[in-house]
Every structure is written in C-alpha cells, then in structure tokens.
Amino acid sequence: MSSLDPSQSSTDDPLDFGVGARITISVMSSDYINIILGALSKVPKSDLLIETGDVSTYIQGPESSILTYLTDLSSLIASSPTHSSIIIHLFRGCPGSTSCAKPGPRNSPNPTGRKTNQFVTAEWALYPLSDGQDGGDHMKEIYEAIDFAKEGGAYKGSKGSVTRLEGDLGVVLECVVRGWVGVGRKVQHVTSHLTISVNSPSHAGRVIEG
Amino acid sequence: MSSLDPSQSSTDDPLDFGVGARITISVMSSDYINIILGALSKVPKSDLLIETGDVSTYIQGPESSILTYLTDLSSLIASSPTHSSIIIHLFRGCPGSTSCAKPGPRNSPNPTGRKTNQFVTAEWALYPLSDGQDGGDHMKEIYEAIDFAKEGGAYKGSKGSVTRLEGDLGVVLECVVRGWVGVGRKVQHVTSHLTISVNSPSHAGRVIEG
C-alpha cells in the first residue's frame, strides 16, 4: 500500500485506487523546451507524485489536486501565448485489465475548478469500463457529466466519438474531471481523454464572455 | 445508409459500423502551419472521408485505408524533421453510448502496415466497451494485440494505464490499428488512443535497427 497522507485509510488512498493522469503538452514554437520546462517548474506539486517522461508527464494523487495541477499548468501554457495542444488522459482502476485486486467504485467528492479567462476548444471522451459487473447503469453518470458541461456553457455537441467543448479553460477542465469522478462512483475502471487546443489561429482574439 | 464502395453490402460498410479515427498533429516549430498543411495536402485520401477541424482531423472509411493514411501522414511529419506529437484516436460503434442501432462486432481482416524507418516512442490505450452483452471475453483479443506488439519488437511494458511502444513508426501504427480491429471482432464499441512522440530531443540520432 502506498500513502500520500497518513491520516487516510487504505480505502481512501487514491494510489490504492489507481487514480492518475497523464498530460502531454506540445507548444508550436522552436522555444518549446523553455516554455514547457518553465511551466512545469512553476506549478506547485502539492500532494501529487509527478514523473516526467518523454511522451507524457504522469501524475498520481487525489482528484482535487489533479484538477488544480492540470488547471495551473495548462493556464501557464495558454499564457505563453503560443498555439499549443494539451492532451490529458485521466484514469483509475487497473491498467490493461478490467479485473484486478484494486478496490471497486470510489466515492470522491466533486472537485472544484477555477476560471482562467482563456478561451479553448476541446474534444472529450469518457469511458466507463467493467460494465458487466456493475449493472451497466453508468450512462446516468455520463449524462450528468454532459448536463454539467451544458450548464457551464462548455458543451457544443457530439460527433465522431467525441464531445466538443468550448469556452474557459478552467471550466472545460472542471467539467471533464467531474465527469471522470462521477463515473468512478459507479464503476471501478474509468478513463477519460481530452484534447485541448489553446491560442489557435482559428480563434485569434476570442475572449471569454461573462 | 452511407456507402464508400457500391460493391459493399450494408453490413460491410465501415460508415454503418461507425468506423473512424481522429488525428491531432502538433509540430514544435513556428513554421507549424506550413508543415502540417503541407503534409495534409500531400497524402492521398484514397476512399476516405476526411474533415479537418481546429482540434483534430476526422477520418472515416475502411480500417486498412485508415492505417495507410495515418502511416503516410505521420511519416511525412516525422521527416520534417521537427519534434512533433501525433495523437491518434481510433473508434467504432456509437459515440457517447454503449447501446445503439449500429451493427454488432465487425469481421475486418488484419490491415498490413509498412515500415518507415523512423524511430518513435508512444503510449497506447485500448478500450473494449459493452462488456456485458459480449460475455467479457475481449481480454483474449487485447492479449493478442500485446503479443503482436511483442513480436514486432515495439512492446516496452505497461505502466499508469498505458502500454509503452517504441520503434519504427509504421510498426507502432500497425500494431495499434490491428489491436483495435481485433477487439472489434468481439465487441461492438471499441476505442483506442495513441500518443506518439517523433524526433524527440531525448532520442536524438536514434535509428531503426534491422
């Protein structure tokens, strides 16, 4: 058993549940190394375990800390202000398997994000796995995630296996992390993939309203 | 019903099965627009429907044509020779749902790739959905996909919800597309996500052996 906080019981420990995220940042500038490493060095790690690799940065810890970290890091990249893509992969459960010794569904509170006032467009997929043993009622949580995206104004329809999100970077991230946490209350193994485009020349000068 | 080839029956038509892919290319150079649009304009579209968006390019058609297109496009980007990330999302079935009117499992032949002699590193996830109605025997196909990656020399272990692949760009793509097609023979809804890093400064001068 691993532990990030001695006060947590083993069943609360996010590492026991396989809670984690991966982020891949691509900055479309020849100065990409300085921009990416500069942002990574500035963001507080909080109670997270962070391992930077050549394909992605691997993050482990509580869902609320993951949302804060992803928001802080993505916001720094978006303020660069170079066109960049940010790829986020959220997961919990057993990599490569739908049956393992990890605990079952996890009751995490909904994490709260923060607005960054940076306009982004994004494509989102949310996958509940292990349907068989969980009764297949996960669609309720998916619809709740989509409803939350609609309430926040980020939802822009679904097409070709993804849901399109647009709007404030922080609102998009909160919506996606909440959807992942919500489905995780019903199924053991849940993953989500998000592709974010920031500072796209297709949306030059676009600002957040409201 | 849509049709790409009049000789195909409705149950063979990849569009009836929701077969598709998305690709997001990020070139880490201020000349990224010319490099990406130049590559997109040079690759033959074959019998594919292709729609370029601000987050990804959406590709629909037969699996073998999708593999050829992804290989040709990624290889052109890798020859640029700028450091780039290539994000690929493969899917078939119903976007946003695990129960819909689409046909069930699809018997597609294994598509064949081609070596490009370009070294890449990558992280791969493969998701069979709709376990409940399919008896949950999809793990056999996942293990077959991993065995195929091992035989081709691309498999480098699993960690944090992804399988790491390394080696020839074309071999990595063939392995991932074959895994997706293989799982699709057992389950209606299957998706796969791949993050590829090309021309990484972490692997400067690395060449393909053999």
Give CA–CA dist B53/B35, Å, rounded. Answer: 16
pLDDT at position A207 is: 80
* Least confident interval from A120-134, A158-172, B88-102, B135-149: B88-102
**CA distance, residue B84 to nearest chain A CA (Å):** 7
Q: How confident is the model at residue B132 (pLDDT cuts 50, 70, 90)?
A: low
Query: Which residue in A69, A40, A64, A70 sits closest to A52, CA to CA?
Result: A40
Is A200's CB within 8 Å of B54's CB? yes
Flag whether pLDDT at A78 surpasses 60.
Answer: yes
Residue in the structure block whose two tokens are 């010319």: B34
Q: How confident is the model at residue A193 (pLDDT cuts 50, 70, 90)?
A: very high
| Residues A24-50 pLDDT 10s | 999 999 999 999 999 999 999 999 999
Q: How confident is the model at residue A143 (pLDDT cuts 50, 70, 90)?
A: confident
Q: How confident is the model at residue B99 (pLDDT cuts 50, 70, 90)?
A: low
**CA distance, residue B29 to nearest chain A CA (Å):** 4
Q: What is the mean pLDDT of residues A44-60?
A: 96
Q: What is the mean pLDDT of residues A85-112?
A: 78
What is the residue-averaged pLDDT of chain B? 86
Query: What residues of A are in contact with residue B164 (Cβ under 8 Å)?
Result: 55
Among A9-13, B47-51, B148-152, top mean pLDDT goes to B47-51
Q: What is the mean pLDDT of residues A64-86?
A: 97
Give CA–CA dist A49/B149, Å, rounded. Answer: 29
Entry pTM: 0.91
**Closest residue in A to B20 (Cα–Cα):** A160
**CA distance, residue B210 to nearest chain A CA (Å):** 24
| Angle in degrees, CA B158, B201, B146, rounded to 5 | 20
pLDDT at position A1 is: 34
Flag whether pLDDT at A134 surpasses 50.
Answer: no
Q: Supply φ then ψ for residue A149, to 5 degrees.
A: -65, -35
Nearest residue, CB atoms, A193 vs list B18, B89, B197: B89
**Closest residue in B to A146 (Cα–Cα):** B96
Q: Would you tell me how many other CB atoms lie within 10 Å of the CB of residue B75?
A: 20
| Residues B174-191 pLDDT 10s | 999 999 998 888 887 889
pLDDT at position A138 is: 65
Is B89's CB within 8 Å of A161's CB? yes
Q: What is the mean pLDDT of residues A126-149?
A: 73
Q: What is the mean pLDDT of residues B1-22?
A: 64
CB A167 within 8 A of CB A208: yes
**Closest residue in B to A59 (Cα–Cα):** B160
Flag whether pLDDT at A85 surpasses 60.
Answer: yes
Query: What does the CA dihedral B117, B118, B124, B130 come to, rounded to 10 degrees?
Result: -50
> Which candidate in B54, B77, B126 is best for mutational testing of the A interface (most A CBs within 10 A)?
B54
pLDDT at position B37 is: 94
Flag whether pLDDT at A67 surpasses 50.
Answer: yes
Q: How far apart are the first and last CA of chain A?
A: 46
pLDDT at position A209 is: 67
Is B125's CB within 8 Å of A164's CB? no
pLDDT at position A101 is: 61
Nearest residue, CB atoms, B131 vs list A18, A60, A98: A98
Query: What residues of B are in contact with residue A160 (Cβ under 8 Å)?
Result: 20, 22, 58, 60, 91, 95
Residue type present at position A94: C
Residue in the structure block whose two tokens are 């000068």: A205
**CA distance, residue A20 to nearest chain B CA (Å):** 7
| Residues A160-182 pLDDT 10s | 889 999 999 999 999 999 999 98
Query: What residues of A are in contact with residue B179 (Cβ under 8 Å)?
Result: none
What percent of chain B shows pLDDT beyond 90?
A: 60
Nearest residue, CB atoms, A55 vs list B27, B84, B197: B197
**Closest residue in A to B35 (Cα–Cα):** A28
Flag whether pLDDT at A5 surpasses 50.
Answer: no
pLDDT at position B9 is: 40
Is B98's CB within 8 Å of A136's CB? yes
Nearest residue, CB atoms, B24 vs list A18, A55, A195: A195
Query: What residues of A are in contact with residue B145 (Cβ under 8 Å)?
Result: none
Q: How confident is the model at residue A15 (pLDDT cuts 50, 70, 90)?
A: confident
Flag whether pLDDT at A10 surpasses 50.
Answer: no
Q: What is the mean pLDDT of residues A4-17?
A: 60
pLDDT at position B188 is: 78
User: What ipTM did this prediction achieve?
Assistant: 0.90
Among A144-148, B11-15, B56-60, B125-129, top mean pLDDT goes to B56-60
Flag whether pLDDT at B98 surpasses 80.
Answer: no
- The more confidently predicted of residues A6 and B82 is B82
Flag whether pLDDT at B1 surpasses 60.
Answer: no
**CA distance, residue A104 to nearest chain B CA (Å):** 16
pLDDT at position A136 is: 55
**Closest residue in B to A143 (Cα–Cα):** B96
Is B160's CB within 8 Å of A60's CB? yes
Give CA–CA dist B112/B171, Å, rounded. Answer: 10
pLDDT at position A174 is: 96
* Least confident interval from A32-36, A96-100, B123-127, B156-160: A96-100
Query: What residues of A are in contact with residue B162 (Cβ under 8 Å)?
Result: 22, 56, 89, 95
Pairing of strands A155-159, A119-128: unpaired
